[in-house]
Amino acid sequence: MLDQLSQWTTSSLFNTILAEIIIIVLVLVSLYLVNITAKTIDKRFIASIPDLDRRARLQTLRKAAKSTAQIVIITIGVLIGLGTIGINIGPALAAAGILGLAISLGAQTLIKDIIGGLIILLEDEYRVGDNVKIGTVSGEVERITLRRTDLRDAEGRLYIVPNGDVRIVANESRDWARALVILNFSYETDLNKSFTALEKALARLDADPLIKPYLLAAPEIFGWDGLGDWAVSVKLSARVTASKRDDVARVLRQYAIEALHQAGVPVDSFSKGK
């Protein structure tokens, strides 16, 4: 019995089985460590970030890194296991290379989208909730994945933009923006009277407790901004927090119309304003 056991433990079959068991254990341990590392990063680093958009961006990157690491570990384990049992993995690697080349040629667009998504997330070009314009479409970013960006426009239409097609992005929600109101006055209008009324509207806007926190500079009037066939254009401008541009513009337009009414400037003299 002892001689048979000794022969069995020194046989190549036993060594092969032992090697395969060790490889399987190492693969399982590696996958477990990857999983634990991902959870630790989530709990100790990502969960402590107060910015929800940045947290979502880092979680997307973490998921991509975890999946990639798991695929690499399993692939290496399978190849080493095949080599251990005597299978020549050279032809298998060559076949895998050819197959990978064929897949890569057929999935160039997908790979391009994924690389584009990684760049967008790493460079923080835009976040969920930002108002952006990508190519010919614009709207609020609802979702960002490694493959695509979902935009919802003002009319509720959902645009799905492949990340590989993102070349030029106009981010209207980053840092600061200008709230603009353009008014058109007929040539018969007393512009001095109108400017006095608009100055009161700007002062009212600057004193509004709901608007003032979003103002980054005092609002201004750009008089004689343009001359048309029937009107003189006057532009009101306020530098504001980017995400509040439209809200401030609406209030500014309201205050301007009310001030012009009080000054006796006919509404139809600027009804074609933007």
Which tens digits make up the pLDDT trace of 14-45? 677 777 888 899 999 999 999 999 888 888 88
Tell me: pLDDT of 12 over 60.
yes
Residue 14 in domain = yes
Statement to judge: residues 88 and 72 lie in one domain: yes
Q: Are 58 and 22 in a shared domain?
A: yes
221 and 244 share one domain: yes
- Asked, for residue 112, whether it belongs to a domain, the answer is no
Residues 130 and 186 in one domain: no
* Domain total in the chain: 3
What percent of the chain stands above pLDDT 70?
81
Q: State which of 106, 138, 158 marks the end of a domain.
A: 106
Give the CATH number of the domain where residue 6 resides: 1.10.287
Q: What is the mean pLDDT of the chain?
A: 81
Shared domain for 6 and 97, answered yes or no, is yes
Classify residue 208: in a domain, yes or no.
yes
Q: What is the pLDDT confidence band of residue 272, given thresholds at 50, 70 and 90?
A: very low
In the sheet where 220-227 sits, what is the strand order? 176-186, 231-241, 220-227
| Mean pLDDT value across residues 230-236 | 82
Domain check: are 162 and 185 in the same one? no
Residue 219's domain comprises: 176-269
Strand partners, 137: 134
* Ranges of H-type helices in the chain: 2-10, 12-44, 52-84, 89-106, 108-123, 191-207, 245-262
Instruction: Establish if 222 belongs to a structural domain.
Output: yes
Of 39-43, 206-210, 268-272, the least confident = 268-272
Do residue 102 and residue 35 come from a single domain? yes
How many angstroms separate the CA atoms of 147 and 138, rounded? 18
What are 101-138's pLDDT values in tens digits? Answer: 666 666 778 888 888 888 888 888 888 888 899 988 99
Opening angle at CA 183, ends 179 and 186, nearest 5: 170
- The answer to the question of residue 64 being in a domain is yes
Give yes or no: residues 12 and 102 share one domain.
yes
DSSP secondary structure letter of residue 229: S
**176 contacts 216 by C-beta, under 8 angstroms:** yes
Among 39-48, 132-141, 194-203, whose mean pLDDT is lowest? 39-48
Task: Determine, yes or no, domain membership for 115.
Answer: no
pTM beyond 0.75: no
Angle between helices 12-44 and 52-84 (to 10 degrees): 180
114 within some domain:
no
Residues 153 and 202 in one domain: no
Separation of alpha carbons 48 and 25, rounded Å: 34
Domain identity same for 166 and 185? no
**Within a domain: residue 117?**
no
Taking residues 55-63, what's their average pLDDT?
76
Mean pLDDT in residue range 170-190: 84
Q: Which of 3-12, 123-132, 225-234 has the highest mean pLDDT?
A: 123-132
Largest alpha-carbon pair distance within the chain?
A: 117
Q: Are residues 62 and 19 part of one domain? A: yes
Evaluate if residue 13 carries a pLDDT over 80.
Answer: no
pLDDT at residue 82 tops 90? no
- 98 with 155, same domain: the answer is no
Integer Cα distance of 69 and 5 in angstroms: 40
